[in-house]
């Protein structure tokens, strides 16, 4: 296909601009990815512990109120 035909295909301009923008991105290194992964895992564990404790407390409160 000629370049003139490609210009009129919908989305081609978008794809070219997206490719140009991706060349400008500063991608993270291995170390930054590793530490970011550890932060996500730690935060997930903290939230799961918090929710587990909250669930246990609310279960205890509901059983105390309902007498079961």
Asked whether the beta carbons of 31 and 25 are under 8 A apart, the reply is: no
Tell me: pLDDT of 63 over 70. Answer: yes
* Tens-digit pLDDT profile for residues 3-56: 666 667 778 888 889 999 999 999 999 999 999 999 999 999 999 999 999 999
């Amino acid at each position: 296909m000629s370049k003139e035909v490609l210009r009129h295909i919908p989305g081609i301009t978008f794809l070219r601009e997206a490719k140009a923008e991706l060349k400008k991105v500063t991608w993270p290194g291995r170390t930054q990815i590793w530490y970011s992964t550890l932060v996500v895992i730690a935060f997930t564990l903290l939230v799961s512990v918090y929710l587990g404790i909250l669930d246990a407390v609310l279960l205890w409160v509901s059983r105390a109120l309902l007498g079961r």
